């Protein structure tokens, strides 16, 4: 497969492990080797300002970025919001009703709001979904866990939708895109790219929808795939 664009999830994918925030040095070194040979972008649940800073620090200046789990797309000088609806007001009500806490990124976010719940806590996800139904807005917002936080976002936004929009903006055929991820949120996005890659420790849903699963976990899985892509595998 001819890969014209390599898209990378961040948390759980470029990190040492799922649930760990430390970047994996092997993944970063592999990205440095691939830079200039293939276009690389980030697809993350993080706030845009966090994703932009990360891209610069790992040497991906002017990289295309999808932030807030597909709510925000940045390509060149253009920043596009993929919904006119923000989850901020309903999330602030959820915080009051359920005693939840916002994440540290909360003030920097536009549409997708994050709650400080560690791990894939599906019980809390269901509790939030039920509360949104009681609030009369259950059809308007998606609720998912990334393993690092629980995300509440406008239902029309997703990483899959955002990848298709990004490809339109930068004139890349989605069939020539590879996307590497680890979580349930990444699973649907695997369906719209030419090659969906799950790292070795990805969730069951992500692994089910991936076309390729790396032997190694998280960042080491990213390095493994990049080596394969560049023909460096031993």
- List active site positions: 9
> Parallel, antiparallel, or unpaired for β 72-75 and 65-67?
antiparallel
| Residue 70: exposure state from Cβ atoms within 10 A (0-12, 13-18, ≥19) | buried
The rounded distance, in Å, linking the Cα atoms of 39 and 71 is 22
| CA angle centred on 84, ends 95 and 176, rounded to 5° | 105
Question: Scanning the structure block, which residue is given the tokens 């790292």?
Answer: 199
The rounded distance, in Å, linking the Cα atoms of 215 and 3 is 20
189-to-46, 86, 162, 198 alpha-carbon distances in Å: 16, 21, 9, 11
DSSP 8-class letter at 146: -
At 174, give phi and psi (nearest 5°). Answer: -60, -25
| CA angle centred on 227, ends 120 and 180, rounded to 5° | 30
| Sequence-distant (≥ 6) Cβ neighbours of residue 44 within 8 angstroms | 9, 10, 11, 50, 51, 65, 66, 67, 69
């Amino acid at each position: 497969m001819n890969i014209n664009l390599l898209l990378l999830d961040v948390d759980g994918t470029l990190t040492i492990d799922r649930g760990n925030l430390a970047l994996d040095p092997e993944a970063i070194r592999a990205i440095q080797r691939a830079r200039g040979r293939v276009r690389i972008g980030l697809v993350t649940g993080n706030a845009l300002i966090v994703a932009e800073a990360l891209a610069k620090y790992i040497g991906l200046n002017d990289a295309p970025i999808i932030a807030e789990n597909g709510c925000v797309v940045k390509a060149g000088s253009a920043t596009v919001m993929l919904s006119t609806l923000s989850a901020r007001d309903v999330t602030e009500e959820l915080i009051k009703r359920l005693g939840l806490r916002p994440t540290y990124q909360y003030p920097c976010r536009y549409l997708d709001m994050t709650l400080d719940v560690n791990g894939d806590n599906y019980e809390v996800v269901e509790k939030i979904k039920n509360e949104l139904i009681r609030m009369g807005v259950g059809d308007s917002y998606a609720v998912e866990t990334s393993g690092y936080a629980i995300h509440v976002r406008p239902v029309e936004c997703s990483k899959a939708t955002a990848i298709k929009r990004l490809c339109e903006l930068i004139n890349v055929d989605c069939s020539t895109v590879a996307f590497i991820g680890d979580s349930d949120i990444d699973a649907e996005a695997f369906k719209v790219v030419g090659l969906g890659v799950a790292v070795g420790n990805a969730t069951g849903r992500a692994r089910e929808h991936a076309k390729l699963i790396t032997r190694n976990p998280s960042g080491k899985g990213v390095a493994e795939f990049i080596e394969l892509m560049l023909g460096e595998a031993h």
